[in-house]
Structure 1
Amino acid sequence: MSESKFEKAVKYVQGLPKDGPVKVSQDDQLDFYKYYKQATIGDVNTARPGLLDFVGKAKWDAWNTVKGTTKEDAEAKYVAKLVEILKKYPDNEENKAFIAELEA
C-alpha cells in the first residue's frame, strides 16, 4: 500500500462537506478516526478521557480497538473503508474515478 493512496484518501475524507452527496455515519467517522490515529501515531498513547467527555471517550475507545495494528494495515483499512463508502454511490462518475485510483 503506497502512502500516497492513504494521503489522498485522508485529504478526500477531510474535505467532505457535512451536507454533501456522500454521507458518512458516526460509526464510519470513528473508523476513519481510529485507522488514521493508528497509522499516524500508533497505539493509544493517552489516558482515557473523563466520564463526561462522551465524544473523547468514543474516539479513544475506537482507537484502542485497533491496538497492535501496523501502520501499513491501518492505512490499508482506512483506504478500504473509503472505497466501501464510495461504492454506495455507483452513479457518481467522480467517485468511480477516485475508487479506480485507490484500488490501482
Structure 2
Amino acid sequence: MSKAKFDKAVAIVQSLPKEGPIQPTQEEQLHFYKYYKQATVGDVNTSRPGMLDFVGKAKWDAWKGVEGTSKEEAYQKYVDKLIEILERANTEEAKKFIEEIKAA
C-alpha cells in the first residue's frame, strides 16, 4: 500500500461532513484512529489516560491493540476500511472517492 493512497484516504475521512450520507460508526472511527496513529507515530508512546477520560482511554486502548503493526500494514487496513464504508454507502460521491484512492 502506498503512502499516497493512505494520504488520500486520510484526506477523505477528514473531509466527511458530520451530517452526510457517508457516516462511519464509532467503531469505524476508532479503527481509523488506531491505524492512523500506528502508521504515523508507530507503537504507543504515551501513558494511558486517567480513569475519567473515557474517550482518551478508548483511543489509547485501540492504538495499543495494534502495537507491532508495520506502517505498510496500517496503511492497508486504513484504506481497506474506508473503501468498505464507501462501497456500503454506494453513492456517486462514494464512487468518486474510491476512484480518487485508486488513482493515488
TM-score by length of structure 1 reads 0.93
What's the secondary structure of 1:87's corresponding residue? helix
Q: Match for residue 95 of structure 2? A: 96
Q: Match for residue 21 of structure 2? A: 21
> Cα distance, 1:9 vs. partner?
0.3
What's the secondary structure of 1:45's corresponding residue? coil
RMSD, aligned α-carbons:
1.2
**1: CA distance, partners of 2:25 / 2:68:** 25
CA contact (8 A) 2:86 2:98 kept: yes
Question: Which 4+ stretches in 1 moved above 3 angstroms?
Answer: none
Q: Match for residue 55 of structure 1? A: 55
Q: Match for residue 74 of structure 2? A: 74
Q: Match for residue 33 of structure 1? A: 33
For residues 4-60 of structure 1, the C-alpha deviation after alignment (integer angstroms, 9 at most, x for no partner) is: 100000000011111111011110010000000000000000000000000000000
> Cα distance, 1:103 vs. partner?
4.3
What's the secondary structure of 2:89's corresponding residue? coil
**2: CA distance, partners of 1:12 / 1:101:** 9
For structure 1, the 5+ residue unaligned runs are none
Aligned residues: 103
- Aligned-residue sequence identity (percent) comes to 65
For structure 2, the 5+ residue unaligned runs are none
TM-score by length of structure 2 reads 0.93
Greater share of residues in helix: 2
More RCO (CA 8 Å, sep 6+): 2
